């Protein structure tokens, strides 16, 4: 979160957009005034025109393509219970990194063998 006097808080962004849209300032001049790149001014003006808020967007990932499926996690736990194998052997058998298998086992509080 930016400090209170930062030029690019939501209030600062609103002032920046107002200078471009209402007062017809050139974006380059507004960028110099606020000490930011012209591309930054352009980004906020475009977001405003699209009806988006002037607040920060979340940095949280939208998806995690490499995340193990619940089925694969169950398979790891099942192999641990039925064969009493460690992360190395389970990882080799399933084609998963042993560190990933170790994290799954730790998540489910499986003791080390």
Q: Tally Cβ neighbours within 10 Å of residue 42.
A: 15
Radius of gyration of the chain (CA): 26
Domain range list for the chain: 10-49, 70-107
The pLDDT of 6-17, averaged and rounded, is 86
6-10, 51-55, 70-74, 109-113: which has the highest mean pLDDT?
70-74
Give yes or no for residue 4 having a pLDDT over 80: no
Examine the pLDDT at 108 and tell me if it is beyond 80. Answer: yes
pLDDT of res. 113: 76
Nearest-angstrom CA–CA distance, 84 and 76: 11
Place of tokens 């000490």: 35
pLDDT at 9: 86
Whether the predicted model's global pTM rises above the 0.95 cut: no
Averaged pLDDT score across all residues of the chain = 91
Question: pLDDT digits over 55-70, tens only?
Answer: 888 888 888 888 999 9
């Amino acid at each position: 979160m930016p400090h209170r006097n930062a030029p690019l808080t939501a209030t600062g962004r609103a002032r920046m957009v107002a200078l471009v849209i209402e007062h017809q300032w050139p974006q380059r001049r507004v960028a110099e005034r606020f000490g930011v790149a012209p591309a930054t001014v352009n980004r906020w003006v475009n977001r405003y025109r699209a009806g988006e808020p002037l607040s920060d967007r979340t940095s949280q990932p939208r998806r995690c393509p490499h995340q193990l499926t619940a089925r694969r996690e169950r398979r790891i736990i099942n192999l641990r219970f039925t064969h009493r194998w460690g992360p190395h052997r389970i990882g080799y058998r399933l084609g998963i990194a042993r560190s990933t298998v170790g994290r799954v086992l730790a998540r489910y509080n499986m003791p080390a063998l």
